[in-house]
């Protein structure tokens, strides 16, 4: 507090201003009285400016004593910028981002920046080469902003616009017809079959040559749709209507035999040979009396097999015919007697026409020793070919002996073979001599 001295006036100043005012008015007559100075009493707060982005609000105060006024910034800023328009620093493109900024109108030092996103392509298709009926086209996808071509594709070939079918050829017997149509856009012509081949419409068959038993016939017919189409066909021969074969000559070992038949339609006669008889397993014997016909032993056997009596008293060779199947002379058997020894050998005619299946022969001094008439049953009596036999040791001096030659053979006809005439004069004489030796 200050003390002010005034002439003859002393009062308590409510505020410094009032004191000054009073001092000035009393300056002419200053007294030594003291006035004490006091502070303003501020009241009546009035907002005279709102806060902004950078300044706090401003208030005005009025002194309740002297009416003095003062302004005071109180509080804080509100941070509310008043932005201006955006300014583009670099524009965004389809593939790159841009930049922009703006300033606060309250404080130009307050700025804000942003990234402008890339726009991306604005894609559309456009046809660069149009497709036609005969060729493909091309289209491309491009960006309407930057013009860049992103993709290229082929446009499929278009379809023809065909006009009506027109028949250019009618079907025939052999072929389908033909038709055509034309594309009204490009003029392409296309042909196609029309219908199916009709086939022939044949008339009745006409016989040209009748078939017989020996030859084919023929017949023909004409297509009623096209007379130039003629078909000729063979009429197969029905062949002869033969009767069953009838044997007119029986086959033998020497004669092939014959059969005949005739056609019941034309009467033609046909003959064929039967072939000679072969003996696949015939008995082969030396010529002599037959067992079944021997008067020495009636009913001795029902086999035709022969036995051959011979005289072994003199040196020399004796030859006898070999007979197969009681009908065919196919070779010879030879008995060689020398100084009391006997050897037996044989030869065959006809080469491969005769083959020995089982060789068997023996010599006995009496027919009754033939207890079995099959060679298999007498194999223990078998004599080997060209092996000397001591007649005295074997038969004790008996010289009226019997050769029993009874082999097995396979035989077919051959010109070297001859037929056995068993009852001929020649053979009857031989048989008589042989039978005289039997005792």
Q: Where are the domains of the chain?
A: 3-73, 162-196, 228-276, 279-436
Per-residue model confidence (pLDDT) at position 295: 60
Per-residue model confidence (pLDDT) at position 38: 74
- Tell how strand 400-411 and strand 308-311 pair up: antiparallel
Q: How far is CA 377 from CA 280, 322, 401, in A?
A: 21, 21, 20
What's the rounded Cα separation, in Å, for the pair 239 and 256? 27
Residue 375 has phi, psi (to 5 degrees) of -60, -30
Per-residue model confidence (pLDDT) at position 11: 33
C-beta atoms surrounding 106 within 10 Å: 17
Which of 266, 403, 270, 390 is CA-nearest to residue 339?
Answer: 390
- pTM equals 0.46
Per-residue model confidence (pLDDT) at position 124: 94
Whether 100 contacts 120, CB under 8 Å? no
Which of 36, 34, 30 is CA-nearest to residue 8?
Answer: 30
One digit per residue, the tens of pLDDT, for the chain of length 439 reads 443 333 333 333 344 444 443 444 444 443 444 455 578 998 778 888 877 787 888 888 899 899 898 898 887 777 788 888 999 989 889 989 899 999 998 888 888 899 999 888 999 999 999 888 888 999 999 998 888 898 999 999 888 899 999 998 989 898 899 999 999 888 889 999 998 988 899 999 999 999 999 899 999 999 998 999 999 999 999 999 999 999 999 888 888 889 999 999 999 999 999 888 899 999 999 999 998 876 655 555 678 899 999 999 999 999 999 999 999 999 999 999 999 999 999 999 999 999 999 999 999 988 777 767 778 888 888 999 999 999 999 999 899 999 999 999 999 999 999 999 999 999 999 999 998 887 6
């Amino acid at each position: 507090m200050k003390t002010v001295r005034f002439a003859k006036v002393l009062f308590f100043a409510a505020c410094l201003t009032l004191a000054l005012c009073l001092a000035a008015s009393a300056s002419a007559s200053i007294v030594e009285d003291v006035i004490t100075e006091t502070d303003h009493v501020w009241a009546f707060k009035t907002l005279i400016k709102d806060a902004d982005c950078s300044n706090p609000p401003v208030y005005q105060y009025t002194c309740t004593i002297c009416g003095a006024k003062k302004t005071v910034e109180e509080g804080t800023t509100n941070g509310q910028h008043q932005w201006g328009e955006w300014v583009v620093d670099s524009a965004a493109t389809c593939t790159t981002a841009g930049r922009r900024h703006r300033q606060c109108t309250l404080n130009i030092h307050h700025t804000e920046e942003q990234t402008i996103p890339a726009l991306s392509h604005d894609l559309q298709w456009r046809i660069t080469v149009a497709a036609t009926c005969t060729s493909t086209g091309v289209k491309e996808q491009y960006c309407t902003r930057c013009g860049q071509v992103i993709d290229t594709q082929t446009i499929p070939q278009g379809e023809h616009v065909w006009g009506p079918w027109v028949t250019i050829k009618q079907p025939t017997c052999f072929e389908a017809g033909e038709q055509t149509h034309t594309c009204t856009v490009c003029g392409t012509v296309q042909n196609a079959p029309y219908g199916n081949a009709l086939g022939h419409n044949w008339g009745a068959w006409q016989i040209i040559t009748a078939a017989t038993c020996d030859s084919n016939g023929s017949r023909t017919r004409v297509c009623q749709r096209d007379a130039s189409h003629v078909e000729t066909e063979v009429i197969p021969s029905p062949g002869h209507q033969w009767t069953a074969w009838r044997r007119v000559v029986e086959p033998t070992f020497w004669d092939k035999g014959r059969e005949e038949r005739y056609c019941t339609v034309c009467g033609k006669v046909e003959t064929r040979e039967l072939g000679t008889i072969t003996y696949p397993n015939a008995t082969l014997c030396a010529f002599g009396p037959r067992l079944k016909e021997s008067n020495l032993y009636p009913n001795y056997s029902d086999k035709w097999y022969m036995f051959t009596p011979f005289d072994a008293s003199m040196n020399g060779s004796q030859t006898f015919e070999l007979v197969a199947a009681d009908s065919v002379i196919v070779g010879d058997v030879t008995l060689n007697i020398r100084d009391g020894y006997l050897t037996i050998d044989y030869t065959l005619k006809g080469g491969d026409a005769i083959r020995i299946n089982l060789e068997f022969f023996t010599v006995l001094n009496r027919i009754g020793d033939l207890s079995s008439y099959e060679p298999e049953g007498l194999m223990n009596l078998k004599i080997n070919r060209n092996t000397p036999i001591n007649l005295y040791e074997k038969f004790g001096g008996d010289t009226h002996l019997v050769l029993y030659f009874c082999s097995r053979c396979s035989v077919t006809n051959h010109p070297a073979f001859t037929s056995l005439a068993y009852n001929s004069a020649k053979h009857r004489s031989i048989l008589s001599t042989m039978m005289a030796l039997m005792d």
